[in-house]
Amino acid sequence: MKQNEMLAMILAGGRGSRLLALTDKVAKPAVSYGGKYRIVDFPLSNCANSGVDVVGVLTQYESVLLNSYVAKGGLWGLDTKDSGVFVLTPREKADAGLDVYRGTADAITQNIDFIDTYDPKYLLVLSGDHIYKMNYDKMLQVHKAQGAAATIAVMPVSLEEATRFGIMITDENDRIIDFEEKPAHPRSTLASMGIYIFDWKKLRKILVEDKDDPNSAHDFGKTIIPTLLNGGEKLVAWRFEGYWKDVGTIDSLWEANMDLLTDNNDLQLDDPTWKIYTEDATVLPAFIGPNAEVDTAYITQGASVEGTVKHSVIFTGAVIEEGAKVIDSVLMPGVTVKAGAVVTRALVADGVTIGEGAVVGSADSKAITLQAQDV
């Protein structure tokens, strides 16, 4: 396939500190989700499925695992002659010292040389920590038809939620006339999803100008979008319908997993025409033991269930021994729940062992218990 006209850059440098111990050692995009996936599989698979062949992944925080993971472009089929996934970390340059990425826009600015080697017409900027399925090509068609300088994917949220997002105020043709970052009194309920398509030449010019501005936040939401708007450029909102989740907290990560238990959930991970690709584990299918009880569960290969699982999501290689109970919980890869232990309304981090008879979480607790250490 000949190199296409749109190149993608995935912003994957954030820590996701509200995920607490889960992101102590790995960046948020590398956090496990949905039994067998990592969060970053979603934008990468969306790129592959949308025909976006070249993807740069901008990493920074605790990126050893993330870098080695996304470098395996073949996992998403992005390893053909003209496709690839490229890890882009901050680096020392001849004309500038070693500097961390100072903001989302600066991460792109520091890699203008990379983007220029492909000379794309359009640049797709994505976040590495959202769970959703989106056809970026559809968005590009709208961007082209509208002749926009930038197109921003938006989705309607409740008025209450609108206070947590960047909000787009649009005219009847979806042209963005104003933009507010986390407004106390929202004038619209169209929230930015942090997914942008830019005309690369126009964006490049603004990035170069912004680079040495000492007062700039070097951020897409705070700097680049307002600059484009003030410059009279045409910005368009593209409405997305479907499942989209920014799993910022333990509660929301737990909830996003629980969403998979509802029948006909919007994410539809088993849609054969839009698969989410991930690293395949060399493991047996899930084993459900002779005395197991499984009721409403999402269980992946390599798991072994000999106890009780109710309304829970069980990841690769998790072991639930006979007599153990897992209720309303998420067991991440390699978790062991020993005989007689009870796990309720909890999210158990990768590789943790819940010892014999231990009790984790409670049906009455409002917040979800994060269990990140052996108990």
Residues near other proteins (CB under 8 A): 34-36, 74, 260-261, 263, 269-270, 275-278, 280, 282, 284-301, 309, 313
CB-nearer residue toward other proteins: 54 or 75: 75
CB of 320 to other proteins, least distance (A): 13
CB-nearer residue toward other proteins: 79 or 181: 79
Q: Alpha-carbon distance 213 to 194, whole Å?
A: 23
Amino acid at site 126: L
Q: Alpha-carbon distance 265 to 270, whole Å?
A: 11
Contact 10, 127 (CB under 8 A): yes
CB of 355 to other proteins, least distance (A): 22
CB of 209 to other proteins, least distance (A): 43
Q: Alpha-carbon distance 153 to 244, whole Å?
A: 11
CB of 31 to other proteins, least distance (A): 17
Contact 280, 300 (CB under 8 A): no
CB-nearer residue toward other proteins: 78 or 115: 78
Strand-pairing partners, residue 8, are 55, 124
What single DSSP character describes residue 128?
T
- Give me the half-sphere count of Cα atoms (radius 13 Å) on the Cβ side of residue 321: 14
CB-nearer residue toward other proteins: 24 or 279: 279
CB-nearer residue toward other proteins: 236 or 297: 297
Residues 6+ apart with CB under 8 A from 256: 33, 34, 131, 245, 247
CB of 134 to other proteins, least distance (A): 17
